[in-house]
Amino acid sequence: MAKVCKSKRRELIRKRRKRSIRKKIFGTPDKPRLSIYRSSQHIYAQIIDDVNGHSLVAMSTIMPLFKKQATDKMTKMERSKLVGKLLAEQSKAKNISKVCFDRNGFLYHGRVKALADSARENGLQF
């Protein structure tokens, strides 16, 4: 077996977890899927209807709506909480209250947990 660097190995393990999670989670129009992606600097979240293949609501740390409310001194955890809050507010405006949570292979810890908890506090149910 060829040697793989540590960061590449972590990514392969995450992708394996992602595949096993996605086998079980599927978004419908009644209960869409909340998918999260975390990079080293940013976090992205979107609510997806898998039946029709449409993204219903999206929010990330690079969107203009987020940048209006964020400050330069915010930590990545605080930014994740704000993304969760804004995502929940946008989903309420589109009458989405229940979602299936897809952590996309990331561990439910740190920024992923902060975003999920913030979305729950602001009205999303999962």
Reported as a single tens digit per residue, the pLDDT across 12-26 is: 999 999 999 888 888
The token duo for 54 is 């449409």
- pLDDT number for residue 6: 85
pLDDT at 1 over 70: no
pLDDT at 80 over 90: yes
Higher pLDDT, 88 or 26: 88
State the chain's mean pLDDT as an integer: 94
pLDDT at 2 over 70: no
Reported as a single tens digit per residue, the pLDDT across 46-71 is: 999 999 999 999 999 999 999 999 99
Q: Is 118 exposed, middle or buried (0-12, 13-18, 19+ CB in 10 A)?
A: buried
Q: Does domain 24-121 have CATH number 3.30.420.100?
A: yes
DSSP string, 1-20: -----HHHHHHHHHHHHHHH
For residue 75, the 8-state DSSP code is -
pLDDT at 45 over 90: yes
pTM: 0.89
Reported as a single tens digit per residue, the pLDDT across 29-44 is: 899 999 999 999 999 9
- pLDDT number for residue 4: 75
Q: Is 31 exposed, middle or buried (0-12, 13-18, 19+ CB in 10 A)?
A: middle
CA 8, 113, 80, 56 torsion-angle sign = positive
